[in-house]
Each structure stands twice: as C-alpha cells, then as structure tokens.
Amino acid sequence: MQNQLVTKSSKLLAENKLTIAFAESATAGKLSYEFSLTPDSGKILKGGLVCYDASIKEDVLDVPHELIEKYTPESPEVTKELARRLYKVVPSADVFIAVTGLTTPGGSETPEKPVGTMFIHAVVNGKDFPVREVFTGSAEQIIRAAIERVDRLLIEVLADIRITGAPARWKA
C-alpha cells in the first residue's frame, strides 16, 4: 500500500513543477523507492544516492573527512553537507534531501544521540530546512517514521512555496 504522505508530497512537487533527489544513508534507498511508486514519479523523481558508508559520503559527495571525523557520519552537519553537495551528482533537481541517522546500535550513538535519532536536511531554492527527530521501535519502524517526517517537511515547505510563489531554480 502506498504511503499517503509520499503521494501527497509527490503531487505537490508535480503541481509546483519541481523535481527531487535524495542522498540516503540510514534509509538506504527506501525513500527513493517510495517516491518511485507514486503516480507522479516520472515527473518529479530525478534519482538518488545511497551513501550508507562514510567513504561514499567523502568520495562521491566530497564531504570533508575532517567534518565526518569531528561530527560523525550521522550528524546534522554532515547531513547538511550531503544535501548541499548532492547538486554535484544530480544537478537537474530542484529539491535536495539528505537523511542520516541511527537505526541500530553500534554506530555513533551517545546519550544525547540515541538509536532512533534521524537527521533530515532539505535544500529548496537555496534555503536549508534541517530536522532532527528521535524515533523509537525497530530499524524498519525508525526508517518508516523518518520517511513520513521527510514527507511532512516537504508538504510544509511546498505549502509555503504555493503561498509565496514558485521558487527560481537554485544552483550551488
């Protein structure tokens, strides 16, 4: 069954004639997959990159090693860089979304950043929209919750665009 929030956010992207690209770490491609199932997928989905391992973040998206070392691969700082640098991989997209986080123990979790912490960063028209959420449950439940949060973020941002007018195409 298709996630209604994905369908709604996909429709809003299509109505605004916007396309989207993803840099996925913790969601490992599931976000792109969900968007590929929507009726508007051919109009809005440009593609994505699964950058589960930190080396992909560094080697493909040019996130500085020092930034990853300082903040960890699952951090708001690295997630922002993933979203902003995704332009180099998918330059024809209008909206860039990056997701990192901790779905299972054994990563960079701390008392301040427990398992379930997910970082989402959207770049729309050159503006940054960061989100940090802590979800509970299994890895699958955490990923599903993060995808729904991405959809809610897109719906909020796109509703604002409708009020203020369609954005000019942003380029880095």
CATH number, domain of 112, equals: 3.90.950.20
Alpha helices per DSSP H over the chain:
4-15, 30-36, 41-44, 54-59, 65-71, 76-85, 139-164
State residue 142's pLDDT score: 98
Residue 43 has a pLDDT of: 96
Is residue 171 a part of any domain in this protein?
no
Tell me the C-alpha distance between 74 and 116, whole Å.
11
Per-residue pLDDT of the chain (172 residues; tens, 9 = 90+): 457 999 999 999 999 999 999 999 999 999 999 999 999 999 999 999 999 999 999 999 999 999 999 999 999 999 999 999 999 999 999 999 999 999 999 888 899 999 999 999 999 988 999 999 999 999 999 999 999 999 999 999 998 775 455 444 544 4
Q: How many domains does the chain have?
A: 1
Residue at 132: amino acid letter = R
- Asked if residue 38 is part of any domain, the answer here is yes
Pairwise CA distance, residues 5 & 142, whole Å: 16
Residue 63 has which token pair? 């996130």
C-alpha angle with apex 13: 75 to 7, nearest 5 degrees? 85
> What's the distance, Cα to Cα, between the start and end of the chain in Å?
37
Q: Is residue 137 included in any domain, yes or no?
A: yes
Report the C-alpha gap between 147 and 114 in whole angstroms: 18
Beta bridge partners of 50: 24
Q: How many CA atoms lie within 13 A of 60 on its CB side?
A: 19
Instruction: Look at residue 172 and tell me if it is in a domain.
Output: no
Going by DSSP bridges, is the β-strand pair 95-101/20-24 parallel, antiparallel, or unpaired?
parallel
What contacts 115, CB < 8 A, 6 or more positions away?
102, 103, 104, 105, 107, 109, 142
Domain that residue 118 falls in: 4-164
Residues whose CB falls within 8 Å of the CB of residue 79, separated by 6 or more in sequence, listed in order: 98, 99, 100, 119, 120, 121, 130
Give a yes or no: residue 41 inside a domain: yes
Is 169 within the bounds of a domain?
Answer: no
pLDDT computed for residue 162 by the predictor: 59
